[in-house]
Amino acid sequence: MRILGLETSTDLGSCALWLDGEMTERRCPAGRPHSETLLPLVRALLADAGLHFAQLDAIAFGAGPGAFTGLRVACGIAQGLAVAADLPVLPVGTLEALAAAVDGERILALLDARMNEVYYATLERAGEEVRLLDRVRVAPPGEIPMPEGAGWLACGNALAAYPVLAERVAQAGLPVRPEAMPTAAAVVRLARPRLQRGEAIDAALAAPFYVRDKVAQTVAERLAGGGKA
């Protein structure tokens, strides 16, 4: 099985290749737009493996939620490469990839959504996969409900971005992994069983998953939230 994975929903962009049982991952250079660095990185990754795009079985990508521009980069490149090589694609949720990057069995995934909001979801590990226990939502950090019961782990960069959230998670007694981020390798790991089950889709149907449809705040909204005009 040969799957290429792309993840650019956050500042930590990456690509990964699953080649007959072995995973190789590369990170996008920091400080440069993913739109400039991802495709050259992908080409180098495949060249080092001695593969052409047409030799892949599928292309998986982090579908969201996340940074609007980043989601469009991964989706657009996945679509373009898949159409050119006649390959199917596998959209993978960003919070699922985040949860797959940690070792917990029950996971509260928390990703900084900017604009004083957090993308969040509860997930549960099921063998090599993770499954959503409820739909992905977005809310201010002080309004995110803490999961009930034992065995939960909180992860994601929202824990470092919002002290009020970190304090609420600590009060709930949850261990934390604030450094955890969605990666292309996690996207590929989740895509593998889905490809085996025949869940890949035509590239023309691929689309980002935004959760919210608002990209920026007005001046008044930034001021109201304590920001600058």
| Residue 80: pLDDT over 60 | yes
Domain 102-177 has CATH 3.30.420.40: yes
User: Where does the pLDDT of residue 213 fall: very low under 50, low under 70, confident under 90, or very high at 90 and above?
Assistant: low
* Residue ranges per structural domain of the chain: 2-94+182-217, 102-177
Confidence (pLDDT) at 108: 98
Mean pLDDT of the chain: 92
Q: What is the CA radius of gyration of the chain?
A: 18
Mean pLDDT of 181-193: 98
Q: Please determine, for residue 111, whether its predicted confidence score (pLDDT) is greater than 80.
A: yes
Query: Is the per-residue pLDDT at 215 higher than 60?
Result: no
pLDDT of residue 220: 39
| The pLDDT of residue 52 | 95
Give the span between the Cα atoms of 217 and 225, in whole angstroms: 10
**Model confidence at 227, in pLDDT bands (50, 70, 90)?**
very low
Task: State the average pLDDT over residues 124-146.
Answer: 96
Burial code (b: 16+ CB inside 10 Å, e: under 16) for 118-151 equals: bbbbbbbbeeebbeeeeebbbeebeebeebeeee
pLDDT number for residue 178? 98
Residue by residue, what is the 3-state secondary structure of 96-164?
HHHHHCCCCCEEEEEEECCCCCEEEEEEEEECCEEEECCCCEEECHHHCCCCCCCCEEEECCHHHHCHH
Among 116, 139, 68, which Cα is nearest to 224's?
Answer: 116
pLDDT average, residue stretch 3-10: 98
Question: Residue 206 and residue 221: Cα distance in Å, rounded?
Answer: 33
How much is the pLDDT for 212? Answer: 79
Phi, psi angles (nearest 5°) of residue 81: -65, -40
Model confidence pLDDT, tens digit, residues 15-51: 999 999 999 999 999 999 999 999 999 999 999 999 9
Q: Do domains 2-94+182-217 and 102-177 have the same CATH topology?
A: yes
Q: Which CATH class is domain 2-94+182-217?
A: alpha beta
| pTM for this entry | 0.91
